[in-house]
Amino acid sequence: MTKDLVGHYIGGRSVVEGDRRGPVFNPALGEEVRQVAFADGDTVGAAVDAAEAAQAGWGEESLARRQRVMFAYRDLLQRNSDRIVAAVGEEHGKVAGDAAGEFARGVEVVEFACSLPQVLKGQFSESVSRGVDAYTLRFPLGVVAGITPFNFPAMVPLWMAPIALAAGNGFVLKPSEKVPSAAVLLAELFVEAGGPPGLFNVVQGDQEAVAEILGHPKIKAVSFVGSTAVARSIYERGTQAGKRVQALGGAKNHMVVLPDADPELVSDSAVAAAFGSSGERCMAISVMVIVGEQGEKHLDAIAAKMEGVRVGSALDPRAEMGPLITAAHRERVGSLVAEAEAKGANILVDGRKHAMAGGPGFFFGPTLIDGVTVEMEAYRQEIFGPVLLVMRARDLGEAIELVNRNPYANGAAIFTESGGAARRFVRTIDSGMVGVNVPIPVPVAYHSFGGFKNSLFGDLHVHGEEGFRFYTRAKAVTQRWGGEGSAATLHFVTNN
């Protein structure tokens, strides 16, 4: 049987070129459901040329015209949410609630992009010197690109594309080859909303497509989300090629629980934050640090609630947690659990023995491991699966020191009723995003997303105002007209 083929989207139309193909699986079934075309240099070049041609006029469009397109895009996304959510569920394996949730967070970025006339306003200072005014303007970069991961097929592209497009750029998206379909839908709907054909292009593929994007001289900036090793490589190769790069890497997010924390809130938050999206998200809580001697009450409550987590496919409306993305990834998660067990950790709930883990899909049950130490690979590596590790600390200071020693610094959370303890945590924790009684502190769209240390390579975070700054460049203008103080001098203009 010939399987469906997902192609590229270039110049406002579907394009299938070249002979290289890759499989696309339904992780809940463990079966290949279609194939995806892989781009070569000519395909990437065609996408860049289309973006450059469309951007020439789009960058000169009025802010009002761009804003109207973004408003129309938002409405079309909402009207087509079922199609996008279904594509995410089939190719990623997310259950309906998770897929709808990620899509909603992506649409929020489109809504923020609609504020572009306000965000792109320049600054003006009158009479910085006698008869001299100064102001700044922001201009689009030209053609920019996004390279996005498998775990959020709709949300992460929508973190990038709407801001880049609203700022006046052309955009080339390279989604993960594991989840190609949602990206094409996003680009098609932008053209339907009134965006110029060719402004938003999608090239499918693997490392060859990535290399072509990083090496293409007309691409001025690259946004990336993925593992730390690849993020570091993207950043180094992109900047060496003279590009502006923001590369978001991995994470090891900690949830610090103080003795005064609400036990019910702690258990609910730990289960939701560790096992939502099957743990395949860079803001998942993967380590709970219990401070003090009352840890057993939390572990008992968490273990009890884990039994109620319904594992299933996207077609099961009651399912709360889906499969992992591939069989190979499931094996990796299992090997890290086995390594922790071999080194003395206590497996309180073992996802390897879950009923769904023996089925045809790539399922792995929720897992709870106590007695974890910093030497274990399960702690040292980003597991990216439904595994919650438990560690202990004598006091808040020791907990903060433990978290700050970790090479990742994406997110961290504290659970407490003490304002003083929370304030100390917020000020001293070395993490880009911090939650206080909130387990997954992903910022809303008008703030920016990003971490520190090995979780981010680059200076500017994603979406929010930092996103607009990343996709534009500032120009400072100092002007003087004839009249008072118009005589030229040999000196710099000063504010005297």
Catalytically active residues are 282
Q: What angle do CA 476, 109, 5 make, to 5 degrees?
A: 115
> What letter represents residue 174's amino acid?
K
Q: What radius of gyration, in Å, describes the C-alpha atoms of the chain?
A: 24
- Integer Cα distance of 290 and 298 in angstroms: 9
Helices (H), 80-199: 81-92, 96-113, 116-119, 155-166, 181-192
The pair of structure tokens assigned to 58 is 């789009």
Q: Is 131 left (phi over 0), alpha (psi -120 to 50) or beta?
A: left
Could you give the strand order of the β-sheet that contains 346-349, starting from the edge strand earlier in sequence?
346-349, 367-370, 387-393, 285-291, 253-257, 411-415, 433-436
Contact 166, 113 (CB under 8 A): yes
Question: What does the DSSP assignment read for 222-264?
Answer: EEEES-HHHHHHHHHHHHHTT-EEEEE----EEEEE-TTS-HH
* Cβ atoms of residues 131 and 484 within 8 Å: yes
Question: CA 486: distance to chain centroid?
Answer: 51
Could you tell me the maximum CA-CA distance found in the chain, to the nearest angstrom? 84
Residue type (1 letter), 341: E
